[in-house]
Chains A and B, each alone.
Chain A
């Protein structure tokens, strides 16, 4: 049983399109995240949701809109895709505030904008 699963794994789309990436976790965690990994493999947080509420927004463009229908799901919708949005996007979850705050990651979605 996959702990954090995201779909699709690969996404190729044209500039200007709107696309969504879905994420689900079955770990019972209260907090979910979206991270972006650039071409140099650097990982940076984009958003964090705790129990469906946005708690971190790292100055991400408004074209990116996360949505959390319940605490087990955090989807990422991207409007008007640009070439620079090409990257690997990772969903993650954790249970901060406990003794163990490590995050568990999904397998990633490689987004290519052409």
Chain B
């Protein structure tokens, strides 16, 4: 079935460093979403991408919808301790809004 392959699985970085994570699939998608999950909380939407090639920023976060519609990346610039959490890519497969998720990237930021 359709699945999203997210990498890396985990990252340990120093405060101030830039971070990049990506999501790929063998299937074409019309939407790419990036969520962040803080410990003990539900996923919160960071960025939504709806058009191939689209590049969108939200503060220090930047995400792009790959031109082939099979991938997306999320960059975080100048990381800070509150960036710690699990980042998920997700997409819909036109089935009643059902989302499928990548495996998540667990980010740790050392002050």
Contacts and interface: CB of A to CB of B under 8 A. Distances in A.
B92 A42 contact: no
Given A43-B88, A45-B98, 11 more contacts: A42-B101, A44-B101, A45-B100, A92-B42, A95-B97, A96-B97, A97-B97, A102-B45, A102-B48, A103-B99, A108-B42
A107 interface: yes
A56 interface: yes
Contacts of B106: 41
16 contacts: A4-B42, A33-B99, A41-B103, A43-B99, A43-B101, A44-B101, A45-B99, A56-B98, A95-B97, A96-B92, A100-B50, A101-B92, A103-B45, A103-B99, A107-B41, A108-B41
Contacts of A35: 99
Interface residues of A, number: 30
B42 A50 contact: no
B104 interface: yes
Contacts of A94: 97
A86 to B, nearest CB: 16
A103 B97 contact: yes
Contacts of B97: 31, 33, 48, 94-97, 101, 103
Contact of A43 (B31, B43, B96): B43
B33 interface: yes
Interface in B39-58: 40-45, 48, 50
Interface of A: 4, 31, 33, 35, 40-45, 48, 50, 55-56, 90, 92, 94-97, 99-108
B50 A99 contact: yes
A97 B35 CA distance: 20
A55 B96 contact: yes
B23 to A, nearest CB: 13
With most chain A CB atoms within 10 A of its CB, the pick from B44, B96, B103, B106 is B96
Contacts of A96: 92, 96-97
Contacts of B95: 56
A104 B45 contact: yes
Interface in B67-111: 86, 88, 92, 95-101, 103-104, 106
